[in-house]
Structure 1
Amino acid sequence: MAGRIRSPAAGGQGCGRHGGPFESAGLPWRPGTGALDPPETMPDPALTDPSVVNPAALLAARAEFDAIDDAVHDLLMRRAALSATLAAQGMKAGGASFRPGREAMILRRLLGRHAGPMPRAALARLWRELIGTSLRQQSDFSVAAVAGTEMLARGHFGLETPLRPQATPAAALAALEAGECSVAVLPSPADGEAPEAAWWAGLDAPGPQVVAALPFLMRPGQSVPSALVLARFGADATPRDRGLLRLERAPGTARDAVAAALAAAGLPPRRLLASADGRRMLAEVEGLVAPGDPRLAPLAPFRAAPIGGYAEPEPDGAPA
């Protein structure tokens, strides 16, 4: 067989009648998948290409690539079969399939053990696609994305996840509240926004809550998420989270006074934003804050209300 390579269309190792990923996952083997077909071969031009310095070494490397690809493919099919089993057994009902905190911890673990020349961003993108695939297997998952956030939504939830473009944050929130989508992706809040653009000002439990931030792997130099993900349930906690509080302030109350009140209550703000009219404020604090948190009591004059939070994103180019 020297000098001949397998076609990419050939079936992978471990997909045969015995010991393949379908059988190991308890799923029936299905004929016609190519699992038992003999590998197709074709002449390898590397043997006659004069620009190839060491054809034998190249052929050996290609054979190793093929073996690695087959092993990776087997594991991918095994992972997909496990997701299918969870869906078939109804082990995750409703919104339980989407657990943004769990997803963040998966990526943190993988980024923490990652080594070698493969970029961290490539690793994160691969696993985001895998996670998105699992979500679609386990539930009827779709995303409402406000104009300008579509690429972030695609990168986070996967290329095949149904995406419903929305012209405004209000339209995306309406679609989420009506159950027309699983989550909504909205632009990250900015200081000095017009009241109609400050979508966060109208959030209140038990309505839609912020549950994730995009991108999870920040670009070099990026310190603030580009978009936030909202769902009809609260965020699940991880060891490193950011909580969001909606506040109102009376005319004449200085921003520094609000920051001081937050700090005195044990919730020093990492960021403190205000709408253009100055009445509505958004505080980002360390950790998630539950509606009944006793630290909210001293903030009653500001009508402080938690509106969710998100797992702290990871920086690219640095250990997790």
Structure 2
Amino acid sequence: MTARAQTKAKPQTSIEVKAETLQSLRLKIDALDTDLLRLIDERSALARDIAAAKIREGVAGQSVSLLRPDREALLLRKLTDAPRKAASDAAVIAIWRELISESLRIQGEDQGGLHLNFWAGDKPAEIFQWGRERFGAAPTQGPLAEPLHVIAAARDPQNIGIISLETRAGAWWARLLAEPAVRVICALPERNPDRPKAFAIAALTPEPTGDDVSYWVTDSRLSESALIEELGHRGLAAEWLYNVGGMKLFALSGFVQAHDGRLDPASGKVLGGLSGIIGTSARI
């Protein structure tokens, strides 16, 4: 018996995978767009209910801040950690930043909404872009003549300040030591905050998110490297950012509270006579 005879003949099968037509794919996108619009509208409509709940649950006679940077950061991390087939992190963050911006616009309708005040120095286009990426299209915005004007405006909970960290602005961030209600709420650009080029400030108290950077100012006469070593001995991982007019700005890893005993100047003059935490930024 030949090898051919020994082998049982198998029927020939052919599975044809028919590619969808361009028209059918476009119809699918159109249907998804309709669903997305409905869901976006439902999400936006909830903003009015949230505004009412904030008033009910807030402290009588006090302004309720629209901003919740901590909640936003936790939401964006959850979304970017979720399984996806194609959408990039950048696209997810950009889309939800706009959704959050629209929600805050609706929540703040009765309060005049949010306003962005800028001091941009020599880079107005970049500061505008970073502010737009972080806070979306909804807030009104405009430049102010001096960083101190931006700080003063930020005392109002409906105002966000964005100030360049270029050295010709001076050590404006040190002024926040005398402005306990106004804190740094994020570093800009948000998508590349390792060496911040600007800070956003607002009249709110940052909350921890589990992955934060805190900002500490000091007039210590120690060198930057010596201060980093000293802070390390105290259990704080520090990175020097700027030195302007004798005032030094450092980034501290983690959520460090203003009353953290490790930064108490009374515990050692090496930390300077004028120092303190000026805010926190959540990593995305």
TM over 0.5, shorter chain: yes
Across the aligned residues of Structure 1 and Structure 2, the Cα RMSD in angstroms comes to 2.4
The counterpart of 1:280, out of the listed 241, 247, 261, is: 247
Q: What amino acid is the match of 2:207?
A: D
For the residues of structure 2 that align with 1:197 and 1:59, how far apart are their CA atoms?
A: 59
Q: What amino acid is the match of 1:295?
A: R
Paired position in structure 2 for 1:174: 152
Aligned-pair CA distance for 1:96: 3.5
Paired position in structure 2 for 1:310: 281
For the residues of structure 2 that align with 1:96 and 1:287, how far apart are their CA atoms?
A: 24
For the residues of structure 1 that align with 2:213 and 2:147, how far apart are their CA atoms?
A: 21
1:135 paired with 2:104, answer yes
Q: What amino acid is the match of 1:186?
A: I
Do 1:92 and 1:138's aligned partners in 2 also have CA atoms closer than 8 Å?
no
| Residue correspondence of structure 1 range 147-166 to structure 2 within 5 A | 147=120, 148=124, 149-166=127-144
Do 1:152 and 1:215's aligned partners in 2 also have CA atoms closer than 8 Å?
yes
SS at match of 1:98: coil
SS at match of 1:145: strand
SS at match of 1:71: helix
- Give TM-score, length-normalised by structure 1: 0.70
SS at match of 1:203: helix
- Extract structure 1 runs of 4+ deviating beyond 6 A: none
- Give the unaligned 5+ runs of structure 2: 1-17
Do 1:247 and 1:282's aligned partners in 2 also have CA atoms closer than 8 Å?
yes
- Give the unaligned 5+ runs of structure 1: 1-53, 315-320
Distance 1:299 1:169, change over 3 A: farther
Do 1:150 and 1:165's aligned partners in 2 also have CA atoms closer than 8 Å?
no
Aligned-pair CA distance for 1:151: 1.7
Aligned-pair CA distance for 1:227: 2.2
Distance 1:152 1:136, change over 3 A: same
Aligned-pair CA distance for 1:180: 8.2
Do 1:142 and 1:181's aligned partners in 2 also have CA atoms closer than 8 Å?
yes
| Residue correspondence of structure 1 range 84-123 to structure 2 within 5 A | 84-89=48-53, 90-91=55-56, 94-123=63-92
1:246 paired with 2:217, answer yes
Paired position in structure 2 for 1:75: 39
Higher fraction of helix: 2
Q: Give the count of matched residue pairs.
A: 248
Question: Which of the pair has more CA radius of gyration?
Answer: 2
For the residues of structure 1 that align with 2:157 and 2:209, how far apart are their CA atoms?
A: 28
Aligned-pair CA distance for 1:235: 1.3
- Give TM-score, length-normalised by structure 2: 0.78
- Spell out, residue by residue over 1:112-134, the C-alpha distance to the aligned partner (whole angstroms, 9 max, x if none): 11523333212211111101111
For the residues of structure 2 that align with 1:270 and 1:247, how far apart are their CA atoms?
A: 13
Aligned-pair CA distance for 1:311: 0.4
| Residue correspondence of structure 1 range 141-290 to structure 2 within 5 A | 141-147=114-120, 148=124, 149-177=127-155, 179=156, 181-187=158-164, 189=165, 193=167, 197-204=170-177, 205-218=179-192, 223-250=194-221, 253-275=222-244, 277=245, 279-290=246-257
For the residues of structure 2 that align with 1:64 and 1:115, how far apart are their CA atoms?
A: 18
SS at match of 2:154: helix
The counterpart of 2:93, out of the listed 86, 105, 124, is: 124
